[in-house]
Amino acid sequence: MSTAMTAFPKQHAGTPSGTPAIDDLAINTIRTLSIDAVQGADSGHPGAPMGLAPVAYALWQEALRYDPAQPSWANRDRFVLSNGHASMLIYSLLHLAGVERVDHDGRATGELSVPLEEIKRFRQLGSVCPGHPESHLTTGIETTTGPLGQGLATSVGMAIASQWLGARYNRPGYALFDYRVWAICGDGCLMEGISAEAASLAGHLGLANLCWIYDSNRITIEGKTDLAYSDDVAARFAGYGWNVLRVGDANDLPQLARAYETARRNADRPTMIIVDSHIGYGSPKKQDTASAHGEPLGEEEIKVTKRAYGWPEDAKFLVPDGVRERFAEKLGRRGAVASAEWRERFEAYAKAYPWLADEVRTMLSRGLPEGWDKDLKPAAADAKGNATRNSSGAALNAIAKQVPWMIGGSADLAPSTKTLLTFEGAGSFQKGNRLGRNLHFGIREHAMAAVCNGLALSGLRPYGAGFLIFSDYARGAIRLSSIMELPVLHIFTHDSIYVGEDGPTHQPIEQLVGLRAIPGMHVFRPCDTNEVHACWRAAMNLTHYPAVLALTRQNLPTLDRSVVASADGCARGAYVLSDAEGGLPDVILIGTGSEVHLCLGAQEILAKEGVRARVVSMPCTALFDAQDEAYRASVLPSAVRARVTCEASSTMGWDRYAGLDGECVGMTTFGASAPAKDVAKHFGFTPERVAEAARASLARVRGAHAGGAR
């Protein structure tokens, strides 16, 4: 539906003088599309997009370097809507700007990413306009934002990526990477602790290419923010080392444009722009409550609001003539020129620096260099062995040396997690060294995981590390790495009660179960150095799934692979490590990580009793579950009902492998503070306990057979 511009007043009463009528019309189109979509869905948040419409419009039209026809252009500015409940704001922008949908290879299709019909299906099943922006569903959404503050922290990763990419690949006359990152946030984003972690890190690193725009509307779901929030945001961000600006009226387009230009000129600090706004127009009663923020306005209120905009009261999903053209005139034209220049520059760059151009192409396609794992050599049998955190640290360095765009670090635990890159030239990413490959996140687990998401969204291959128990602090962002189908690697050490003296607060119990429960997450728990190498290979080959490496602090023997099976079986998630002689086993012992060795010990005990036991190492349940039925049956034949699972963690979920007649050796309580060997013995993590469980399972199966089929 279209209405001629002459049907509208020249200027809205709330717009400062000097604003062209077409800009006012475009802003009100964003607002009314948002109102109509929320009302049509009978669900959503109209207030925030109404108040933010001029703020976002000014950004897109005056500052954002973005080509709607090439939305995957590598050097585009990134726009992040951290307060994702305002999703209709970005859907309206994507539609009006004519952003094209790209295919799985990143090529523009010529079709709109967000057609008007999809806006009409806002929050409906299968729509590309879900309730909160989802990067894996909708072209033009740079990152999934739902939980407040996540978008802000992710934007820090994007800003780091831009500066690292520029330092690595830019050459005189060839500026390939210098994009900026713009994020809009609200009161809720700044209340969440993750934003404090991320802002502190960004200030420390001096990320001058990062700008957060704070919609200070003083309203949350429960009411006015003074119920629970009285921060001096300007002072807070000045304390973080940010450049702080203020725009007193969200409708003042010239003042907004000046603020954005000031942020662009800033060369040494990130910028926070505080914008004072109201959540919407319409009746004063509605403006003064949270209702307009968290529920549809209602038909009568919509009419009042549209009258205030000088809008036809009964028009639905109206895009007046000239609005799309206005976006094309400024954002579209500017972006088209910039992206075309970049493509020409890259073609010339590829001739001058072909090896670097190949790196960029491989990186952006989520590929890996040829021979990336060539330095992972087989480890000889060793009874003393090594902690898997140590062998993982060596593997990380061997791989990262061959994968130049692999970058990451730890939440202040690199010496313990063995995640410091130590090869020549690795260095640390700091203000004075944007080439550094080691990121020092500080004690900020949640921000670390979100920053890694931002790095992955920018094409890098990131990793973040810490103790497994502290994965709880990072879980929100870890979950999003799986939703967004990002190949982020989470390295967690100190993976069980063998942490020992640190006691129950530091001994993970339910963490492995919780991480495995995340759809798409691949949790690897290797049993020795060769399994560490195999698990690294499997994890690095995941292009659309995140992975967790769960690693020991204590030494584990390196198995003699001439006696037991090759660790290559890790690629299928589980494999027969050591089989019984004489045909089908009587019992199957399934272990992960350090407990695989207990299963091997139990196998020996049972063999002396004439019991044939098969030992299965299951480092990754997700990979095993994805195998075909024939392979799974070859490892865990249904005819063998006597089974034992063993993991020094919660037993939850292991019953699906143990079966009705099986036994699960694991933890059903929290741990205890004592030396690791004493803790293990106290909780029954011994070969003898595993053998005892095997006898119990066998007795159950034999009893069932003696009493008839169940």
Provide the whole-model pTM: 0.94
324-345 in b/e burial notation, b at 16+ Cβ within 10 A? bebbbeebbebbeebbeebeee
Say which residues have a Cβ less than 8 Å from residue 487's Cβ, sequence separation at least 6: 366, 456, 461, 542, 543, 544, 545, 546, 547
Task: Give the Cα separation of 396 and 402 in Å (integer).
Answer: 10
The answer to whether residue 4 scores a pLDDT higher than 90 is no
The answer to whether residue 710 scores a pLDDT higher than 80 is no
**Is 117 among the catalytic positions?**
no
The band of 246, judged by pLDDT with boundaries at 50, 70 and 90, is very high
- Are the beta carbons of 313 and 306 closer than 8 angstroms? yes
Residue 59: exposed, middle, or buried by beta-carbon count in 10 A (0-12, 13-18, 19+)?
A: buried
Tell me 469's DSSP state.
Answer: G
Task: Give the Cα separation of 79 and 88 in Å (integer).
Answer: 14
The answer to whether residue 706 scores a pLDDT higher than 80 is no
CATH fold of the domain at 572-706: Rossmann fold (3.40.50)
Of residues 348 and 222, the one with the higher pLDDT is 348
Look at residue 277 in the predicted model and tell me its pLDDT: 84
Look at residue 407 in the predicted model and tell me its pLDDT: 98
Q: What are phi and psi of 702, to 5 degrees?
A: -65, -35
The answer to whether residue 289 scores a pLDDT higher than 50 is no
Could you tell me what percent of the chain has a pLDDT over 70? 94
**Residue given tokens 């955190």 in the structure block:** 389
Look at residue 225 in the predicted model and tell me its pLDDT: 77
The answer to whether residue 288 scores a pLDDT higher than 50 is no
Task: Give the Cα separation of 476 and 489 in Å (integer).
Answer: 15
Task: Give the Cα separation of 457 and 445 in Å (integer).
Answer: 19
- Helix 47-62 / helix 253-265 crossing angle, nearest 10 deg: 60
What is the token pair recorded at 693? Answer: 């469980």
The answer to whether residue 7 scores a pLDDT higher than 70 is no
The region that residue 212 occupies, defined by phi over 0 for left and psi between -120 and 50 for alpha, beta otherwise, is: beta
Look at residue 300 in the predicted model and tell me its pLDDT: 93
Say which residues have a Cβ less than 8 Å from residue 141's Cβ, sequence separation at least 6: 90, 133, 134, 135
Helix (H) or strand (E) holding 690, with range, is helix 687-706
Look at residue 173 in the predicted model and tell me its pLDDT: 95
pLDDT average, residue stretch 553-580: 97
Task: Give the Cα separation of 145 and 134 in Å (integer).
Answer: 7
The answer to whether residue 59 scores a pLDDT higher than 50 is yes
Look at residue 501 in the predicted model and tell me its pLDDT: 93
pLDDT average, residue stretch 167-187: 97
Query: What average pLDDT does the structure give for the chain?
Result: 93
- Are the beta carbons of 677 and 594 closer than 8 angstroms? no
Look at residue 5 in the predicted model and tell me its pLDDT: 38
**Residue given tokens 């970049």 in the structure block:** 342
Q: Please pick, among 142, 192, 359, 445, the residue that the annotation labels catalytic.
A: 445
What is the token pair recorded at 203? Answer: 């200030």
Look at residue 52 in the predicted model and tell me its pLDDT: 96
Could you tell me what percent of the chain has a pLDDT over 90? 89
pLDDT average, residue stretch 151-166: 98
The answer to whether residue 159 scores a pLDDT higher than 60 is yes
Look at residue 292 in the predicted model and tell me its pLDDT: 40
The answer to whether residue 576 scores a pLDDT higher than 80 is yes
- Are the beta carbons of 189 and 148 closer than 8 angstroms? yes
The answer to whether residue 1 scores a pLDDT higher than 50 is no
Decide: helix, strand or coil at residue 571: helix
CATH fold of the domain at 382-557: Rossmann fold (3.40.50)
Q: Which of 4-8, 95-99, 414-418, 558-562 has the lowest mean pLDDT?
A: 4-8
Look at residue 283 in the predicted model and tell me its pLDDT: 46
pLDDT average, residue stretch 435-458: 98
The band of 294, judged by pLDDT with boundaries at 50, 70 and 90, is low
The band of 291, judged by pLDDT with boundaries at 50, 70 and 90, is very low
pLDDT average, residue stretch 306-320: 94
Pairing of strands 613-617, 100-102: unpaired
Domain covering 5-340 assigned CATH 3.40.50.970 in the classification: yes
Q: Give the distance from CA 662 to its chain's centroid.
A: 37
Fold equal for 5-340 and 382-557: yes
Interval 104-121: pLDDT, tens: 888 889 999 999 999 999
15-31 in b/e burial notation, b at 16+ Cβ within 10 A? beeebeebbbbbbbbbb
The band of 226, judged by pLDDT with boundaries at 50, 70 and 90, is confident
Of residues 272 and 706, the one with the higher pLDDT is 272
Q: Angle at Cα 242 formed by Cα 240 and Cα 243, nearest 5°? A: 150
Decide: helix, strand or coil at residue 118: helix
pLDDT average, residue stretch 242-247: 98
The answer to whether residue 18 scores a pLDDT higher than 70 is no
Domain ranges of the chain: 5-340, 382-557, 572-706
The answer to whether residue 431 scores a pLDDT higher than 90 is yes
In 328-387, which residue ranges form alpha helices assigned H by DSSP?
333-352, 354-364
Q: 141 vs 70, 144, 186, 371, CA distance in Å?
A: 13, 7, 18, 34
Alpha carbons within 13 angstroms on the beta-carbon side of residue 571 total: 7
Pairing of strands 406-410, 575-578: unpaired
Look at residue 279 in the predicted model and tell me its pLDDT: 60
Interval 636-676: pLDDT, tens: 999 999 999 999 999 999 999 999 999 999 999 999 999 99
Look at residue 709 in the predicted model and tell me its pLDDT: 46
Q: Which of 1-10, 62-71, 377-386 has the lowest mean pLDDT?
A: 1-10
